[in-house]
């Protein structure tokens, strides 16, 4: 509760009235002296650690321990022939000499090079559109967001029905007098077909974050720009984009991480085919670990995936953060 | 707040939060410990001393209810808990659980061609002490794939054969005389495709449906019929051999029937049976397990021998599930007794096929099954038993017992799908050889 400012509120002393002389001495010493006594600091540290411990334990046991375990296992012999000894770099050497894995890397990188920018651009476009004063804007937002509320596996099943040779997509094409398409059975069409499924799920989800970011930009900036004669494009370029940098960075990084880990749509729609055209790395890891049973090779792939993701995310942070620092 | 030299007293709210944090840590720690306790508690032994055996299989839930009821009635101290895992997820589920030493699986279904690989991964228990009984009780050649390095690792439960089914209504509509059941008058694939085309011209939606369209089990006989062999060669069967003339010709035929629209693309194996039952296709190649379902739906069908290529030899798919025991089972004796009863006694073997119409490998139960098969659809299935026996004795080809079979089979699913979708057969087979060479290098 705030009341009118009294004379006593204007005093410069930080020591409240009624404080004992001892306390005052102590506080004065702290203000003038170098640091708090060691015992106090260590007690505070212990308290902080205690509060943090559930989260720290979760990080250690659910994140770090599996990661360390993956690294260790990736240097061990394949269990395919019953071996369990140290293999050094053998699993990695095998992976880079394996044409199937090289194809997986190429496919994964190409997929991400297309799908990540597409997700951000479409999410931003929709966020800009649905931030306008449109009739029933809330309904449109809900409709665009709806696919994100559906489990990814269910989305995969829905799209597998759409892409069936006699499914909805070919039905529409036929109705329009166009030839039927081999959406999931052609090496050329399967990757874009999977991308459409991924975008259908992701765009509405990331759009919500960008709408929130847009709503945080003060209207006064737009009004000032308008008074200065800035066009709509200039307002977007010089007001919206710079002030949306943080939400955009978050969307790009989180979306990239998510897309490197895509699994369910691949398993449901294509099983990595045709001709390995959609064999993304997470699906390959699953194949190696659970279909073939070569867990150590799968762990080597996991380690490589972690490294690639660290690099990609680091570069993205750097690119998006560099201008902000200037 | 009282501040004294070296003493910090926290406010009550902070202290409460601190206690909560401690409680949280304690809960997590206990949960971690509790995992072990729970696993320990899952030893499958009830308070009353009843042992519960966990059995994993890929059939429809409830398929083994008659077996379980009969077994539990005659073995009061044992309870069987069956869990069904869909076929496509079975291998990954078993691999995941067995590789981690999961002791909550006692008995599980094994694809016999995968046994060498599973044995190498140490995921099956040696049950060689049942070898003599098994040899005596099972039909010839069904035990063979279950023996690796002279040891018995699982017991065959069922075997299989495939027929060429036809839709008499669609053939009549096209003016085609249906094929005979006589193996001596077996149709060639060329005849089937020609008749399928005619049936399509007369109104059939599909000409030919192949049940397990992307699985090696079903498609190996195509190449075998043309002398292409199993696709693996060498003493250890670890040399890919897919680009020989037989394989290339068989796969070219396979590509062509899909390219020309005689067989449909994009339809999954489990959709094939219902399509034929709905009268959408002239021919269907599949096992006897479809018969009860089609009978219930009043589907029109006739039976003929599995086709072969005109300039080749008859070759037909065979084998089916075996059951094995996990080496991590804590109830090995009870599991072995259950396995022995289901596979080697007539009563148990017949109980396994109460709800699934598939030939058992127990010799006496097999004879009983033949009679049931013949009588299953009057006017249609008479003689189907003799035909099956003929095929098992003369044309059945086992899958290769290779240490690399698991990799081979997984890769061939993609190869078949790609060729079905239009890939050049020779190029795709060549690429598969290259990928297999690489995969097999891990096994040498």
In total, how many domains does chain B have?
Answer: 2
In percent, how much of chain A has pLDDT > 70? 85
Residue B30 lies in a domain: no
pLDDT at B31 over 80: no
Residue B87 lies in a domain: yes
Rounded CA separation A106/A99 (Å): 11
C-alpha span between A168 and A171 (Å, rounded): 5
Least trusted range by pLDDT, from A134-143, B157-166, B321-330 = A134-143
Q: CB neighbours of B140 closer than 8 A, spacing ≥ 6?
A: none
Domain-embedded: residue B185: yes
**In this structure, are B382 and B433 located in the same domain?**
no
pTM: 0.79
Instruction: Flag whether B29 is in a domain.
Output: no
Q: What would the mean pLDDT of B251-258 be, rounded to a whole number?
A: 97
CB contact under 8 A, A80 and B122: no
Best A293, A294, A299 residue to mutate vs chain B (most B CBs within 10 Å) = A293
- Same domain for B304 and B357: no
CA distance B98 to B111: 15
How is chain A split into domains, by residue range? 99-325
Q: Does residue B431 fall inside a structural domain?
A: yes
Same domain, B277 and B364: no
Tens-digit pLDDT profile for residues B76-122: 999 999 999 988 889 889 988 988 888 999 999 999 999 998 998 88
**Does residue B28 lie in a domain region?**
no
Phi, psi at residue B54, to the nearest 5°? -95, 125
The reported pLDDT for the residue numbered B30 is 36
Q: Are residues B177 and B302 in the same domain?
A: yes
> Is residue B15's pLDDT more than 70?
no
Residues B329 and B369 in one domain: yes
Q: Is B15 within the bounds of a domain?
A: no
In a domain, B26, yes or no: no
Residues of chain A contacting residue B442, judged by C-beta atoms under 8 Å apart: 78, 80-81, 94, 294, 297
In this structure, the answer to whether residues B68 and B140 fall within a common structural domain is yes
Residues in B 361-400 with any Cβ partner in A closer than 8 A? none
Select from A80, A275, A291 the Cβ nearest to the Cβ of B120.
A80
User: Residues in chain B, how many?
Assistant: 444
Provide the mean pLDDT of chain B.
Answer: 89
Answer whether A167's CB lies under 8 Å from B271's CB: no
Q: Are residues B266 and B359 in the same domain?
A: no
What residues make up the domain containing B71?
51-158+320-389
Least confident of A308-312, B20-24, B242-246: B20-24
Q: Cβ neighbours of residue B279 under 8 Å, at least 6 residues apart? A: B167, B169, B170, B299, B300
What's the CATH class of domain A99-325?
A: mainly alpha
Q: Which residues of B touch A22 (CB under 8 A)?
A: 4
* B188 and B252 co-located in one domain: yes
DSSP element (H, E) containing B233: strand B232-233
Q: Name the burial class of residue A295, with classes exposed (0-12), middle (13-18) and buried (19+) by CB atoms within 10 angstroms of its CB.
A: buried
Residue B144: give its domain's CATH number.
3.40.190.10
Best of A51, A56, A292, A298 to disrupt the B interface (most B CBs within 10 Å) is A292
CB B56 within 8 A of CB B83: yes
Mind listing the pLDDT tens digit for each residue in B117-148?
A: 899 888 999 999 999 999 999 987 889 899 99
Min Cα separation B303/chain A (Å): 29
A286 contacts in chain B (CB < 8 Å): 92
- Chain B residue at shortest CA distance from A20: B2
Residues B291 and B335 in one domain: no
Please tell me the predicted confidence (pLDDT) of residue A83: 64
Q: A76: which strand partners? A: A86
Contact B117, B323 (CB under 8 A): no
- Assess whether pLDDT exceeds 90 at residue B20: no
Spell out the SS3 assignment of B118-179.
HHHCCCCCCCHHHHHHHHHHECCCCCHHHEECCEECEEECECCCCEEEECHHHHHHCCCCCC
Q: Verify that B293 and B174 share a domain, yes or no.
A: yes
Query: What whole-number distance in Å separates Cα of residue B105 and Cα of residue B312?
Result: 44
pLDDT, average across residues B14-18: 46
B192 with B308, same domain?
yes
Q: A-chain residues within 8 Å CB-CB of B32?
A: 61
Q: What is the mean pLDDT of each run of 10 residues along chain A (326 residues)?
A: 36 41 46 63 90 94 90 83 78 91 94 95 93 81 85 91 89 93 90 95 93 92 92 92 90 91 93 91 92 89 92 80 52
> Comparing B215 with A35, which gets the higher pLDDT?
B215
């Amino acid at each position: 509760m705030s009341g009118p400012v009294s004379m006593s509120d204007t005093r410069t002393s930080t020591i409240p009235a009624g404080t004992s002389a001892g306390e005052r001495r102590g506080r004065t010493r702290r203000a003038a002296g170098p640091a708090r006594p060691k015992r106090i600091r260590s007690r505070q540290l212990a308290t902080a650690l205690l509060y943090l411990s559930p989260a720290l334990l979760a990080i250690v046991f659910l994140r770090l321990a599996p990661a360390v375990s993956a690294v260790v296992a990736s240097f061990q012999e394949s269990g395919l022939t019953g071996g369990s000894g140290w293999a050094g770099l053998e699993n990695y050497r095998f992976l880079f000499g394996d044409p199937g894995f090289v194809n997986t890397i190429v496919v994964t990188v190409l997929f991400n090079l297309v799908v990540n920018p597409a997700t951000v651009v479409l999410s931003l476009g929709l966020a800009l559109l649905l931030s306008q004063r449109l009739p029933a804007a809330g309904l449109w937002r809900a409709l665009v967001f709806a696919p994100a509320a559906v489990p990814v596996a269910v989305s995969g099943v829905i799209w597998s029905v759409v892409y069936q040779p006699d499914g909805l997509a070919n039905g529409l094409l036929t109705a329009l007098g166009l030839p039927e398409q081999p959406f999931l059975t052609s090496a050329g069409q399967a990757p874009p077909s999977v991308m459409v499924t991924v975008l259908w799920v992701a765009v509405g989800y990331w759009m919500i974050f960008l709408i929130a970011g847009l709503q945080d930009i003060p209207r006064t900036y737009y009004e000032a720009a308008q008074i200065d004669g800035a066009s709509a494009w200039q307002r977007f370029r010089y007001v919206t984009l710079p002030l949306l940098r943080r939400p955009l960075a978050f969307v790009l990084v989180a979306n990239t991480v998510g897309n490197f880990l895509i699994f369910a749509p691949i398993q449901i729609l294509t099983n990595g085919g045709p001709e390995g055209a959609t064999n993304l790395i997470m699906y390959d890891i699953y194949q190696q670990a659970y279909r073939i049973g070569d867990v150590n090779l799968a762990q080597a792939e996991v380690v490589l995936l972690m490294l690639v993701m660290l690099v990609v995310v680091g570069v993205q942070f750097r690119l998006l953060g560099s201008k902000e620092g200037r | 707040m009282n501040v004294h030299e070296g003493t910090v007293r926290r406010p009550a709210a902070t202290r409460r939060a601190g206690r909560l944090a401690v409680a949280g840590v304690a809960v997590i720690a206990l949960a971690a410990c509790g995992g072990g306790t729970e696993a320990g508690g899952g030893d499958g032994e009830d308070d009353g001393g009843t042992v519960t055996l966990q059995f994993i299989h890929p059939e429809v839930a409830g398929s083994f209810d008659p077996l379980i009821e009969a077994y539990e009635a005659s073995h009061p101290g044992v309870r069987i808990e069956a869990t069904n895992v869909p076929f496509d997820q079975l291998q990954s589920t078993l691999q995941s659980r067995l590789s981690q030493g999961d002791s909550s699986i006692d008995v599980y279904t094994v694809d016999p061609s995968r046994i060498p690989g599973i044995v190498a991964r140490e995921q099956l228990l040696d049950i060689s002490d049942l070898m003599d009984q098994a040899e005596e009780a099972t039909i010839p050649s069904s035990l063979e794939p279950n023996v690796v390095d002279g040891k018995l690792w699982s017991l065959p439960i069922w075997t299989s054969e495939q027929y060429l089914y036809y839709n008499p209504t669609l053939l009549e509509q096209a003016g085609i005389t249906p094929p005979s059941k006589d193996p001596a008058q077996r149709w060639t694939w060329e005849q089937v495709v020609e008749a399928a085309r005619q049936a399509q011209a007369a109104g059939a939606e599909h000409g030919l449906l192949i049940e397990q369209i992307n699985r090696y089990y079903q498609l190996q006989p195509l190449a075998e019929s043309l002398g292409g062999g199993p696709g693996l060669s060498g003493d250890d069967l670890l040399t890919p051999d897919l680009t020989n003339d037989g394989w290339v010709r068989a796969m070219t035929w396979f590509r062509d029937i899909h390219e020309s629209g005689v067989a449909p693309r994009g339809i999954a194996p489990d959709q094939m049976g219902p399509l034929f039952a709905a009268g959408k296709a002239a021919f269907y190649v599949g096992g006897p397990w479809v018969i009860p379902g089609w009978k219930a739906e009043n589907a029109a069908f006739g039976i003929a021998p599995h086709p072969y290529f005109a300039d080749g030899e008859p070759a037909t798919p065979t084998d089916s599930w075996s059951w094995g025991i996990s080496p991590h089972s804590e109830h090995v004796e009870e599991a072995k007794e259950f396995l022995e009863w289901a596979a080697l006694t007539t009563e148990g073997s017949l109980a396994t096929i109460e709800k699934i119409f598939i030939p058992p490998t127990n010799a006496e139960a097999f004879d009983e099954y033949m009679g049931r098969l013949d009588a299953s659809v009057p006017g249609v299935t008479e003689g189907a038993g003799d035909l099956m026996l003929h095929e098992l004795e003369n044309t059945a080809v086992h899958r290769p017992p290779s240490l690399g079979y698991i990799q081979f089979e997984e890769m061939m699913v993609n190869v078949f799908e790609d060729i079905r979708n239009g890939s050049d057969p020779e190029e795709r087979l060549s690429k598969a050889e290259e990928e297999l060479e690489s995969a097999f290098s891990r096994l040498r």
